[in-house]
Amino acid sequence: MRFVLQLLVMALVGATIGYFLFDLSSNGEEGQAHFQICASAVRINCVVEGDTLWYEGKKIRVEDIDAPEIAHPKCASEEALGQRAKYRFLELMNAGPFKLVRHGDRDTDRYGRLLRVVERDGQSLGMILVNEGLARRWDGRRHPWC
């Protein structure tokens, strides 16, 4: 009986620690890595588009912006702007340490990508792209780029 009680206490302590670790991670995961443009099937730290990246093997959709599509653009100007957004996002990701912060209610989108805002020194990297005309604030709907 004493052994069972010890197991229950250990499980309760473990669950409590896990809860607090999860709760802290929702306030932001700090990181730094060298990013490349995603070009192969192996994707560890790379940028796909101006609003999508892989970090430590996890696919992340930048939660606060919408960048032009590259994979399936509706017109040549969307693809060109999307390429500019992708390379600028790569430059921003390689500029130093960043934080991945969950702001919304959902952890993932319908494609299974983690939803995070990428911040450096409290500033959203996505909003830098918006201010430079390379992305839009995400309002919950896609709008045409053409």
Dihedrals φ, ψ of 104, to 5°? -85, -175
- Mean pLDDT value across the chain: 86
Same domain, 103 and 129: yes
Cα gap 144→82, rounded to integer Å: 13
The whole-number pLDDT of residue 28 equals 85
- Whether 145 maps to a domain, the answer reads no
- Whether 44 maps to a domain, the answer reads yes
- Whether 115 maps to a domain, the answer reads yes
Does the pLDDT of residue 120 top 80, yes or no? yes
Range of lowest pLDDT (20-24, 91-95, 142-146): 20-24
The whole-number pLDDT of residue 101 equals 97
Same domain, 120 and 57: yes
Are residues 83 and 43 in contact, defined by beta-carbon separation less than 8 angstroms? Answer: no
Instruction: Name the strand (E) or helix (H) holding 47.
Output: strand 46-49
Same domain, 115 and 62: yes
Q: Look up the domain containing 96 and give its range.
A: 32-137
The whole-number pLDDT of residue 22 equals 38
The whole-number pLDDT of residue 104 equals 85
Confidence of residue 16 (pLDDT cuts 50, 70, 90): very low
Same domain, 47 and 66: yes
Residues taking part in catalysis: 61, 69, 113
Does the pLDDT of residue 45 top 70, yes or no? yes
Cα gap 76→88, rounded to integer Å: 19
What the block records as the tokens of 105 is 């209610």
Same domain, 66 and 91: yes
Structural domain total, the chain: 2
Confidence of residue 17 (pLDDT cuts 50, 70, 90): very low
Cα gap 15→53, rounded to integer Å: 31
- Whether 87 maps to a domain, the answer reads yes
Runs of H (alpha helix) within the chain: 2-25, 76-93, 125-131
Same domain, 53 and 116: yes
- More confidently predicted of 24 and 67: 67
Same domain, 40 and 15: no
Same domain, 1 and 59: no
Cα gap 98→30, rounded to integer Å: 6
Same domain, 89 and 79: yes
